[in-house]
Structure 1
Amino acid sequence: MQTGCRKCLTKFFIIPQRYVLSIMGFFAILNAYTMRVSLSIAITEMVQRHKSDFYDPDACSVFDIHNSTSPHTVSDELYPWTSKQQGIILSAFYWGYVLTHIPGGVIAEKFGGKHVLGLGILSTSIFTLLTPFVIYITEGNWVWFVVLRVLEGFGEGTTFPALNAILSKWVPLSERSKLGTLVYAGSQIGTVLANSISGALIHSTRTWASVFYFFGCMGCLWTLLWTLLCYSDPESHPFISTEEKDYLKKQMAGISKDNRKIPWTAILTSVPIWALVAAQIGHDWGFFAMVTDLPIYLKEVLHFNVKQNGFLSSIPYIVMWIVSLVTAYICDMLITKKCMSISFARKFFSTFGMYLLNLIY
């Protein structure tokens, strides 16, 4: 009976399971980023305006206050948070986020990434749904909001480590550029959707709370689908085809699956590791500064309304996504044609991207 059900399910899934997992991984990161980034737009409509806080002699003049900086939310949903408090609120997510990276990766390697990733996204979704309730019940106490954002960061900090652990067991080396680009493009698409949908939602519903309800529900829906469709490795998957399982075994034959002791000393004293850390810090500094502060700049300095703000804030990430797809294809082509080694190709494209980003800034 079990074998018969397995055969039926295998026939039902025409798409190879590694592609299903990659698509779901894409939506995992997409959901993670929508819940992370949406606050950057929402907070522009959560705060009471104070001339002393927002006066800037270099800001654009406001010709039509109704169409630009007037809040689209009702007045009793606006709170007297200062610019400093807003900065703390926006950064609080990352305080929790960095703390669960390493534990999340270790747990995912030991017990499988499926449930680590699923629980991480689910917890973030629940805290996102609770955001309006916490703000309303505390009457806009920004400290409680900070606590909630830290907890969201705790949950979402496991996303990339768990996903990396899963992909290492599912994606052959020859497909990692393409499928890796697909999965991690979720960060750009998620940022695009977070900005554009948040602006449109607030504009149409006239309440910032709709943003948290919408993206929180989307995260819960993803968790349900992830639990039903995806597994930590091909061996534990109940309806992967025999052909795909054999293919993955052959392609991954040279990759060790032993749970060896983590060489922390070697890692912490490795020059290449610290070079990667420095490169990632450089990337994240520019990326998250733009994610966090661009919507506030567009509202307070350029005086765009929330709908315009959401659209304009999403444009850089649309371009980023397109470029990532094109460069991934070029990178794989150069490796396949043996124009570049895998190592050199990774270094070249990473370095080129970093220098280009710094040049633009």
Structure 2
Amino acid sequence: MFAVMGCLAITVAYAMRICLSLAITQMVTTAESSSNSTTDGDTCSGTLSASSNSASSETYDWDEYTQGIILSSFYWGYIVSQVPGGIMADKFGGKYTLSAGILSSTTFTLLTPLVVNKFDSTGLIVLRILMGFGEGATFPALNVLIAEWAPPQERSKIGTMVMTGTQIGTILGTALSGILLEYSPIGWPLVFYVIGSISGFWLLNWILFFHSNPNVHPYISEAEKKYIQDKISENTRKHTQPIPWRHIATSFPVYALLVGQFGHDWGFFTMMTDLPKYMSAVLKFSISSNGLLNALPYAVMWIVSNISSIFADWLIKHDVMSITKVRKAFTTLGFVVPAIFLIAASFAGCNRVLVVVLFVIGISLMGPVYPGLVVNAVDLSPNYSGTLMAMMTAAGALAGILGPYVVGVLTPNQTVTEWRMVFWIAFIVLLVTNVGILFLQRGDVQYWNDLENNGQGSKDFEHRVKSSGCDNSQKDKATT
């Protein structure tokens, strides 16, 4: 039940986050002719099909730079609340920390049409900042819950199932938005009303029927409770001491998490946030086709993510590869192959079928990143997994801030040539950050996960060893 409800939590969070990416194509007054200043081959033939109902709602004169700021503003608030959200989740548990974040996002999503109509782009930017701030605790809270519910041998599978709510949410947010924009009697505001209501329905069920850990869950059987407790007994979350910031700050595997999350999210957020604009303004797809085609890569990505997670757990369970090697191999696969296909798509020009095929392959093959990188924080420290996930998502949020801004600056005319530079940047970021992962990533529990019990890092530990008369070999045994 947890894996399903956790997956749906990210689904509604991402649907609320992503729906603006498609809605903004109908919220903005279409400029007739940025293409007049471009050379042959820079623009694709065809007529951009607007929604037949667009006249029933207001449109706004926002240039590409302003749209870039609007699309990145969510991450301004998101990056600020990551670490506080992770600390709250580690201290108070995941259920209510997650509930508070989804409640704020739901409220701000439902308020979006009112705020935009009253305060224009400034109001939307402020609203998206607040929405991002509230949603910052989502991933840290879920990471804490994964540490409570997922046995180590099933962590890739359960963690991936939860985290791949990002793909389902992207599918829901883009496909449903495209359909609603095409047939809405009130225009683009219906997108925010419908998706916000879906999120509210999930939140009600989450509060009523789910609990933070197996020990307090009234609906779980004793047999299942005992199974979970026995399987995770070695690495289960203990009463946490003060967060060991000094040890975390000097841990190379933690830097692998941060570097990897920044690289992955640069590629992923560039596609998730700005691909609808590329399909609309450059390839001239209709609004309903845009929504469905943008959903397609994430549908395939969801399948690839879950299949790869099952395979990753099989490799670990049968001792075919160590956890560290599995994490590195799957992360590399999810970085390098998509980078190649994304840059290939940029050279496919206006061949719409080929572009879509290459995007589908490239984005879907980001799936192995979930059993490779995303679940790795729980490997390193079950006790502080919320804090580590907060740091990861903060690094990813930085990519979310910079990516749409860079797209807005580099694509004022929305041409193939301008967008090719966007894809080259994503290609370079993915490859460079993967090099850092290969050198730094680990899959074993770090000593600072439980300093109190293993003695590492405490100031009096050396004194206790010396006064006990232990030699170096005894000291090594004591630290283990």
Q: Does 2:159 align with 1:175?
A: no
d(CA) in 2 for partners of 1:295 and 1:54?
18
TM-aligned CA deviation for residue 306 of structure 1: 0.5
Task: Spell out, residue by residue over 1:95-149, the C-alpha distance to the aligned partner (whole angstroms, 9 max, x if none).
Answer: 11111111111101111110010110111001000000111223xx201100000
Give the total of aligned pairs. Answer: 337
Q: What residue number does 2:450 align with?
A: none
Which of 297, 303, 306 in structure 2 is aligned with 1:322?
Answer: 303
Query: Is the 8 Å Cα contact of residues 21 and 71 (structure 2) preserved in structure 1?
Result: yes
Q: Any unmatched runs of 5+ in structure 2?
A: 343-480
TM-aligned CA deviation for residue 51 of structure 1: 3.2
Query: Is the 8 Å Cα contact of residues 54 and 300 (structure 1) preserved in structure 2?
Result: no
Query: Is the 8 Å Cα contact of residues 51 and 181 (structure 2) preserved in structure 1?
Result: no
Shift in CA distance, 330/76, structure 1 to aligned 2, threshold 3 Å: closer
TM-score (norm 1): 0.89
Q: What residue number does 2:221 align with?
A: 241
d(CA) in 2 for partners of 1:337 and 1:248?
20
Q: Does 2:281 align with 1:297?
A: no
Q: What residue number does 2:312 align with?
A: 331
Percent identical residues? 47
Q: What residue number does 2:137 align with?
A: 158
Which of 95, 108, 113 in structure 1 is aligned with 2:89?
Answer: 108
Query: Is the 8 Å Cα contact of residues 26 and 50 (structure 2) preserved in structure 1?
Result: no
Q: How does 1:53-72 map to 2 (within 5 A)?
A: 53=34, 56-57=38-39, 58-62=42-46, 64=47, 68-69=49-50, 72=53
Which of 228, 232, 253 in structure 1 is aligned with 2:233?
Answer: 253
Query: Is the 8 Å Cα contact of residues 57 and 188 (structure 2) preserved in structure 1?
Result: no
Which of 259, 262, 270 in structure 1 is aligned with 2:243?
Answer: 262
d(CA) in 2 for partners of 1:190 and 1:102?
23
TM-aligned CA deviation for residue 357 of structure 1: 2.1
Q: What residue number does 1:194 align with?
A: 173
Task: Spell out, residue by residue over 1:194-253, the C-alpha distance to the aligned partner (whole angstroms, 9 max, x if none).
Answer: 111100011011511111001100111111000011111122223322212222221121
TM-aligned CA deviation for residue 69 of structure 1: 4.5
Shift in CA distance, 247/75, structure 1 to aligned 2, threshold 3 Å: closer
TM-aligned CA deviation for residue 358 of structure 1: 2.0
Q: Which amino acid aligns with 1:215?
A: I
Q: Which moved more, 1:265-274 or 1:221-230?
A: 265-274
Q: Any unmatched runs of 5+ in structure 1?
A: 1-19
Query: Is the 8 Å Cα contact of residues 114 and 231 (structure 1) preserved in structure 2?
Result: yes
Query: Is the 8 Å Cα contact of residues 22 and 183 (structure 1) preserved in structure 2?
Result: yes
SS at match of 1:110: helix
Query: Is the 8 Å Cα contact of residues 105 and 134 (structure 2) preserved in structure 1?
Result: yes
Task: Spell out, residue by residue over 1:25-64, the C-alpha distance to the aligned partner (whole angstroms, 9 max, x if none).
Answer: 01000000100011000000000012355655411123x4
Q: Which moved more, 1:128-137 or 1:327-336?
A: 327-336
Q: What residue number does 2:196 align with?
A: 216
Q: Which moved more, 1:309-318 or 1:35-44?
A: 309-318
Q: Which amino acid aligns with 2:232?
A: M
Query: Is the 8 Å Cα contact of residues 53 and 83 (structure 1) preserved in structure 2?
Result: no
TM-aligned CA deviation for residue 359 of structure 1: 2.0
Q: What residue number does 2:336 align with?
A: 355
d(CA) in 2 for partners of 1:49 and 1:104?
39
Q: What residue number does 2:101 align with?
A: 120
Query: Is the 8 Å Cα contact of residues 97 and 154 (structure 1) preserved in structure 2?
Result: yes
Query: Is the 8 Å Cα contact of residues 131 and 212 (structure 1) preserved in structure 2?
Result: yes
TM-aligned CA deviation for residue 266 of structure 1: 1.5
Query: Is the 8 Å Cα contact of residues 23 and 183 (structure 1) preserved in structure 2?
Result: yes
Query: Is the 8 Å Cα contact of residues 279 and 354 (structure 1) preserved in structure 2?
Result: no
Q: Which amino acid aligns with 1:239?
A: Y
Query: Is the 8 Å Cα contact of residues 113 and 166 (structure 1) preserved in structure 2?
Result: yes
Query: Is the 8 Å Cα contact of residues 89 and 140 (structure 2) preserved in structure 1?
Result: yes
Shift in CA distance, 339/316, structure 1 to aligned 2, threshold 3 Å: same
Q: What residue number does 1:6 align with?
A: none
d(CA) in 2 for partners of 1:245 and 1:150?
40
Q: Which amino acid aligns with 1:158?
A: A
TM-aligned CA deviation for residue 85 of structure 1: 0.7
Q: Which amino acid aligns with 2:315?
A: L
TM-aligned CA deviation for residue 183 of structure 1: 0.9
Task: Spell out, residue by residue over 1:285-338, the C-alpha distance to the aligned partner (whole angstroms, 9 max, x if none).
Answer: 010001111111111111111101101111221221121122112112222221
Q: Which amino acid aligns with 2:328?
A: K
Q: What residue number does 1:49 align with?
A: 30
Query: Is the 8 Å Cα contact of residues 14 and 170 (structure 2) preserved in structure 1?
Result: yes
d(CA) in 1 for partners of 2:219 and 2:56?
54
1 or 2 for the larger relative contact order (CA 8 Å, sep ≥6)? 1
d(CA) in 2 for partners of 1:233 and 1:76?
46
Which of 38, 54, 59 in structure 2 is aligned with 1:73?
Answer: 54
